[in-house]
Amino acid sequence: MIMTMPKASASESTRVRCHSNVSANQRIDEALERSIERHMNLPRPRLTARILELEREWSIERWLETNASTLTLAGVALAAFGYRKALWLSGAVAGFLLLHGVSGWCPPLPLLRRLGVRTRGEIDMEKFALKYLRGDFEPVLLASREGRLSVEILSEAVRRLD
């Protein structure tokens, strides 16, 4: 397992993991490890292609925001056409989104996690590992070994993370 965090010490970046089922987190962590293992000896272009895929992957936050706004708009639209009870849908969805914003948990979260939807941090972990395998940080390692590590070299490495 890659990351385990007790619920009491959850930070902003790990609160979804803290509110997720342990087995869902383990499946996501194992999938990450398998992906890195599969990509270990691939050429740079293949690593770059996978990194580009990861940049397009939707995080759990994006899934929740998109689904919540779609359902909220549907409720408002139905209410505008005379189905006033549909406002309850908009209210419930807005409440769930608020709950997620405050606590990191909402009712769709367990389902999305079981489906393997990852947090931005989990996606970025794979991206970072692949960039390391691709050699993006080689200048930093060389400069460090040669005793000429500088702010400029570190800044360039950080820019490559994005």
Hey, what are 136's tokens?
């993006």
pLDDT level of residue 8 (50, 70, 90 thresholds): very low
pLDDT digits (tens, 9 = 90+) for 145-158: 777 777 777 677 76
Q: What is the 3-state secondary structure (H, E, C) of 127-138?
A: HHHHHHHHCCCH
Please compute, for residue 136, the number of CA atoms within 13 A of its CA located in the half-sphere on the CB side: 22
Per residue in 98-143, pLDDT (tens digit) is 999 898 899 999 999 999 999 999 999 999 999 999 988 887 777 7
The pLDDT assigned to 69 comes to: 95
The per-residue pLDDT for 16 is 92
Q: Is the pLDDT of residue 144 over 80?
A: no
pLDDT at 34 over 80: yes
Domain layout of the chain by residue ranges: 17-57+120-162, 58-117
Q: Can you give the pLDDT at residue 139?
A: 74
Going by pLDDT thresholds of 50, 70 and 90, the confidence category of residue 9 is very low
Long-range contacts of 67-72 (CB under 8 A, 24+ apart): 67/108, 68/93, 68/94, 68/96, 68/97
Q: What share of the chain is helix, strand, coil (3-state, %, to 5)?
A: 75, 0, 25
Give the C-alpha separation, 147 to 10, whole Å.
37
CA trace torsion 22, 25, 27, 31 (10° rounding)? -160
Tens-digit pLDDT profile for residues 65-106:
999 999 999 999 999 999 999 999 999 999 999 999 898 899
User: Does the predicted model carry a pTM greater than 0.95?
Assistant: no
**Are the C-beta atoms of residues 104 and 19 closer than 8 Å to each other?**
yes
